[in-house]
């Protein structure tokens, strides 16, 4: 994803003089071409995320379209007030990139875990919140926000992510399985596993704003339940927003969840290890789907 991000920003810089990239002292080796070809529009602010967002707001007010970039945990919680008041209240459009969403930086400890970023950013009126699963999807989100001049928070992964083969699979299943972000790859694998693939439909949510539209129409009567998988704490994430949308539209159904609990993860573990420990890797998801199907 980061390589595609660098390429996308370079393309936009070629297309428009309005793009200015600000980084919180990160991305060395990733954005070298952007820095070399557009030195006047590449700004390393240092480890000062709040100041970076404030500078971006000033640039936005002057007619530029700034992109601010840092690790997701640093890009969401640290400058939250600045994003809320400047991008939100004052409506200065900017693209906020949070790299390494969820527990991508699992071995770096809780300070580097972005397990609440989607919930936090969803609280800001007018802020689009996106968690693409792969590089091409991420490119679509960024280009759309840039040319529509709207603020967006984009949670991205690290390196090596592939694009989802399918963002939606409908087989007339009994269960609808929904996820967002890079964890959608694990859910996709589980849905296609033997004994599951003919009984479970799959839906990847790219933007949180899609939740309300998905549940504005009556849910397919063939579904007996929904499974939500998220690399996020319980409060404020995809699960919470789905429940809110369903309740608002008077749609009632069993909704199961796999994801992170509302606790700090204090042990040091890899992203894969934390997913496995909390049963939302492909193997754990498959077991949960089998359990739900077996109870029907």
Residues 129 and 198 in one domain: no
Q: Is the predicted pLDDT of residue 234 greater than 90, yes or no?
A: yes
Residues 233 and 276 in one domain: yes
Are 246 and 255 spatial neighbours (Cβ–Cβ below 8 Å)? yes
DSSP 26: -
Cα(291)–Cα(115) distance, integer angstroms: 26
Reported pTM: 0.95
Cα(220)–Cα(134) distance, integer angstroms: 28
Copy the structure tokens of residue 66: 């700034």
Domain that residue 113 falls in? 2-156
Handedness of CA 225, 231, 233, 239 (dihedral sign): negative
281 occurs within a structural domain: yes
Cα(132)–Cα(228) distance, integer angstroms: 16
Read off the pLDDT of residues 162-217 as tens digits, 9 standing for 90 and up: 999 899 999 889 999 999 999 999 999 999 999 998 999 999 999 999 999 999 88
Q: What is the pLDDT of residue 202?
A: 97
Place of tokens 């033997």: 194
Cα(202)–Cα(173) distance, integer angstroms: 9
Give 247's pLDDT tier (boundaries 50, 70, 90): very high
Read off the pLDDT of residues 67-79 as tens digits, 9 standing for 90 and up: 999 999 999 999 9
Read off the pLDDT of residues 143-160 as tens digits, 9 standing for 90 and up: 999 999 999 999 998 878
Residues 145 and 271 in one domain: no
Q: Which residues pair with 227 in a beta bridge?
A: 177, 256
Could you please report the per-residue DSSP string of 186-252? HHHHHHTSTTTTTTEEEEEESBTTHHHHHTSSPPPTT-SEEEEE-SS-STTSHHHHHHHHHHHTT--
Residues 113 and 175 in one domain: no
Residues 117 and 216 in one domain: no
162 occurs within a structural domain: no
Place of tokens 């936005």: 60
Handedness of CA 26, 28, 31, 37 (dihedral sign): positive
By CB atoms closer than 10 A (0-12, 13-18, 19+), residue 279 is middle
Q: Which one of 156, 183, 200 terminates a domain?
A: 156
Instruction: Considering only the C-alpha atoms of the chain, give the largest distance between any 2 of them, rounded to a whole number of Å.
Output: 61
Cα(39)–Cα(10) distance, integer angstroms: 12
Phi, psi of 52 (to 5 degrees): -65, -45
Q: Which one of 129, 156, 183 terminates a domain?
A: 156
Q: What is the mean pLDDT of residues 232-241?
A: 96
Cα(229)–Cα(221) distance, integer angstroms: 21
Q: How many domains does the chain have?
A: 2
Residues 104 and 62 in one domain: yes
Copy the structure tokens of residue 240: 């919470």
The CATH number for 66's domain is 3.40.50.970
């Amino acid at each position: 994803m980061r390589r595609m991000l660098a390429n996308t920003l370079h393309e936009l810089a070629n297309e428009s003089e309005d793009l200015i990239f600000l980084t919180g002292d990160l991305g060395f080796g990733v954005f070298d071409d952007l820095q070399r070809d557009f030195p006047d529009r590449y700004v390393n602010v240092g480890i000062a995320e709040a100041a970076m967002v404030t500078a971006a707001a000033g640039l936005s007010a002057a007619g530029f379209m700034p992109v601010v970039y840092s690790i997701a945990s640093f890009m969401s919680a640290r400058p939250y007030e600045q994003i809320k008041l400047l991008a939100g209240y004052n409506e200065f459009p900017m693209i906020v990139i949070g790299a390494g969403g969820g527990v991508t930086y699992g071995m770096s400890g809780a300070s580097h875990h972005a397990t609440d970023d989607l919930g936090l950013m969803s609280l800001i009126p007018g802020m689009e919140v996106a968690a693409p699963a792969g590089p091409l999807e991420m490119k679509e989100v960024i280009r759309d926000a840039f040319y529509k001049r709207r603020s967006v928070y984009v949670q991205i992964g690290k390196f090596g992510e592939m694009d989802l083969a399918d963002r939606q699979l409908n087989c007339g299943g009994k269960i609808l399985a929904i996820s967002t972000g890079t964890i959608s790859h694990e859910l996709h694998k589980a849905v296609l596993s033997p004994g599951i693939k003919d009984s479970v439909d799959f839906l990847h949510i790219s933007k949180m704003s899609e939740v309300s539209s998905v549940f504005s129409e009556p849910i397919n009567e063939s579904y007996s339940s929904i499974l939500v998988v998220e690399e996020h704490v319980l409060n404020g994430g995809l699960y919470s927003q789905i429940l809110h949308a369903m309740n608002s539209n008077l749609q009632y159904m069993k909704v199961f969840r796999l994801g992170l609990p509302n606790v700090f993860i204090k042990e040091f573990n890899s992203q894969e290890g934390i997913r496995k420990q909390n049963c939302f890797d492909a193997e754990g998801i498959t077991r949960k789907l089998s359990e739900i199907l077996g109870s029907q």
